[in-house]
Amino acid sequence: MKILIADDERMICEWLEYCIADRQDFRSVGTAYNGEQALTLFYETKPDIVFTDIKMPVKNGIELLKEIKKVSPSILVIILTAFAEFDLAREAMRYGADDYLLKTEMSKESLEQILDRAKEKLGNGTKEEVGDSGGRRYAFIRDVLKNTVLSESNIQRMKDEGIRWRDDGLFAVALWKKDVKEGFSLPDVDFVHHLVEFEYNNLIYMLLGNLSRGMSEGKKEKLIYEYAGRLSEENSCMVGVSTAIDRLVNLTDTVTEAVYSLGFGYYKEKIKVYTPGKSAKEIRELIEKNKSGFRQKIRQLYTLSRREFKKSLEAEMEEAARGSEYTLHEFSSFCCQAVEMAYMRFAGNDLKLVHCMLQDEQCKINNTNSFSEVQKIVNNFVNYIYDELDYDKRKFSKGVEQAVEYIKTHYSKAISLDEVAKSANLNPEYLSRVFREETGSNYSTYLTDIRLKQAAYLLSNTPLRVQKIAEEVGYPNVSYFSTIFKKKYGVNPYEFRRRE
Indicate whether 418 pLDDT > 90.
Answer: yes
Q: Which CATH number applies to 395-499: 2.30.31.10, 1.20.1250.20, 1.10.10.60, 1.20.1070.10?
A: 1.10.10.60
pLDDT digits (tens, 9 = 90+) for 326-375: 788 888 888 988 888 888 777 765 555 566 677 778 888 888 889 999 99
Indicate whether 124 pLDDT > 70.
Answer: no
Q: What pLDDT sits at residue 353?
A: 53
Q: Please say whether the beta carbons of 29 and 47 come within 8 A.
A: yes
pLDDT digits (tens, 9 = 90+) for 221-274: 999 999 999 999 999 999 999 999 999 999 999 999 999 999 999 999 899 999
Percent of the chain with pLDDT over 90: 25
pLDDT digits (tens, 9 = 90+) for 183-229: 888 998 999 998 888 888 878 999 999 999 989 999 999 999 999 99
| Average pLDDT for 117-140 | 57
Q: What pLDDT sits at residue 138?
A: 61
Q: Which of 88-92, 150-154, 157-161, 264-268 has the lowest mean pLDDT?
A: 88-92
Mean pLDDT across the chain:
83
pLDDT digits (tens, 9 = 90+) for 319-333: 887 766 678 888 888
Percent of the chain with pLDDT over 70: 88
At a CB cut-off of 8 Å and minimum separation 6, what does 135 contact? 70, 71, 72, 73
* Structure-derived torsion over alpha carbons of residues 89, 145, 279, 250, reported in degrees to the nearest 10: 170
- Stronger pLDDT, 288 or 131, i.e. the higher one: 288
Q: What pLDDT sits at residue 127?
A: 38
Q: Mark residue 172 as left, alpha or beta (left: phi above 0; alpha: psi -120 to 50; beta: remaining).
A: beta
Indicate whether 422 pLDDT > 70.
Answer: yes
Q: What pLDDT sits at residue 392?
A: 52
Indicate whether 171 pLDDT > 90.
Answer: yes
Hey, how many other C-beta atoms are within 10 angstroms of the C-beta on 187? 15
Q: What pLDDT sits at residue 212?
A: 93
Q: Which of 21-35, 130-144, 419-433 has the lowest mean pLDDT?
A: 130-144
3-state secondary structure the chain: CEEEEECCCHHHHHHHHHHHHCCCCCEEEEEECCHHHHHHHHHHHCCCEEEEECCCCCCCHHHHHHHHHHHCCCCEEEEEECHHHHHHHHHHHHCCCCEEEEHHHCCHHHHHHHHHHHHHHHHCCCCCCCCCCCHHHHHHHHHHCCCCCCCHHHHHHHHHCCCCCCCCCEEEEEEEHHHCCCCCCCCCCCCEEEEEEEECCCCEEEEEEEECCCCCHHHHHHHHHHHHHHHHHHHCCCEEECCCECCHHHHHHHHHHHHHHHHHHHHHCCCCEECCCCCHHHHHHHHHHHHHHHHHHHHHHHHCCHHHHHHHHHHHHHHHHCCCCCCHHHHHHHHHHHHHHHHHHHCCCCHHHHHHHHHHHHHHHHCCCCHHHHHHHHHHHHHHHHHHHHHHHHHCCHHHHHHHHHHHHHCCCCCCHHHHHHHCCCCHHHHHHHHHHHHCCCHHHHHHHHHHHHHHHHHHHCCCCHHHHHHHCCCCCHHHHHHHHHHHHCCCHHHHHHHC
Q: Which CATH number applies to 135-277: 3.30.530, 1.10.8, 3.30.70, 3.50.30?
A: 3.30.70
Q: Which residue type does 158 have?
A: M
Residues 163 and 147: their CA atoms lie apart, in Å, by: 17
Q: What pLDDT sits at residue 374?
A: 92
Indicate whether 156 pLDDT > 60.
Answer: yes
Closest alpha carbon to 3 in 58, 74, 76, 94: 76
pLDDT band at residue 129 using 50, 70 and 90 as cut-offs: very low
Q: What pLDDT sits at residue 393?
A: 52
Q: What pLDDT sits at residue 351?
A: 56
Give the start-to-end residue ranges of the domains of the chain: 2-123, 135-277, 284-383, 395-499
Q: What pLDDT sits at residue 97?
A: 84
Question: CATH topology for 2-123?
Answer: Rossmann fold (3.40.50)
pLDDT digits (tens, 9 = 90+) for 279-307: 999 998 988 888 777 778 888 887 888 78
pLDDT band at residue 130 using 50, 70 and 90 as cut-offs: very low
Q: Which of 68-77, 95-104, 133-142, 398-407 has the lowest mean pLDDT?
A: 133-142
